[in-house]
Amino acid sequence: GRGRLCKPVPSAQFYYMDAFILLSSGQELQLLRYHVDPVRDEIKRYKPRSRYECVFRLSTRGATEVTSLSAVNDFYSHVVLTAGRNRTLQVFDLNTGCSAAVIAEAHSRPIHQICQNKGSSFTTQQFQAYNLFLTTAVGEGVRLWDLRTLRCERSFEGHPNRGYPCRIAFSPCGRFVACGAEDRH
C-alpha cells in the first residue's frame, strides 16, 4: 500500500469470507477493504496498482496494545476477539461497532494467541461448539473459554512453555486441541 501504519501490526487475517483484512495496530483494530491487481504489465511494472482503504477503526478499552486477535473467516461472523498487553480479552461486535464484553485478568501474563473453533467444510459440529475459543500465554497452559458465559471452562496444563510462545489449534471436528511445547512434545 501507499501509506504505513503508525504502529507495528502483530496480528492480521482475512475476514468476512475474504472481503476484508482485519488487523491490529497499537491499541486499535482496523478493517481494510483491499484490491489486489494480479495483471503484470512490463511497461508499467513499477506503478503499484493494488490498493487498500481503511473502512473501519475501533479502539480497545484501556488504551492497551493488542497482542492477538481472532475472527472466523470461513463463514459470516460479526464477532472479533482481541487480547491486550494488560491481560484482558475483549469481544467486539462489528455489527454494532462496539465492545460487547471484557474479560479482565484472563491470564496472569499477556495472551499471545487466541484460537476460535472455526470448524471445517468437511465435518459438521453442533452450533454451540462455535462459541468455544482457546487462549494461551507464556508461562501458563491453555484455557478453554465459552462466549455464552464468558468464563474459563477448562484449563489445560502440564506442557511447558515458560519462555517461548507455543501455538494452539482446534481440530476440524472441534473435539481435540493441539498445542506445542518447549519440551518438543
pLDDT tens-digit profile of 127-173? 889 999 999 999 888 999 999 999 999 999 877 677 778 899 999 98
Model pLDDT, residue 91: 96
d(CA 21, CA 154): 31
Model pLDDT, residue 2: 56
Q: Dump pLDDT digits (tens) for 165-185.
A: 889 999 998 999 999 888 888
> Is the pLDDT reported for residue 1 higher than 70?
no
Q: Dump pLDDT digits (tens) for 61-83.
A: 776 899 999 999 988 999 999 99
3-state SS of the chain? CCCCCCCCCCEEEEECCCCEEEEEECCEEEEEEEECCCCCCCCCCCCCCCEEEEEEEEECCCCCCEEEEEECCCCCCCEEEEEECCCCEEEEECCCCEEEEEECCCCCCCEEEEEECCCCCCCCCCHHHHHEEEEEECCCCEEEEECCCCEEEEEECCCCCCCCCCCEEECCCCCCEEECCCCCC
- Amino acid present at 90: Q
Per CATH, the number for 1-105 is 2.40.128
> Would you put residue 177 in left (φ > 0), alpha (ψ -120 to 50) or beta?
beta
Model pLDDT, residue 37: 83
Q: Dump pLDDT digits (tens) for 17-61.
A: 999 999 999 999 999 999 988 877 777 767 777 888 999 999 987
Interval 102-107 mean pLDDT: 94
Q: Would you place residue 124 in the very low, low, confident or very high pLDDT band (cuts 50, 70, 90)?
A: confident
pTM, full prediction: 0.87
> What backbone torsions phi and psi does residue 105 show, to the nearest 5 degrees?
55, 50
Interval 84-110 mean pLDDT: 93
Q: Domain limits of the chain?
A: 1-105, 115-184
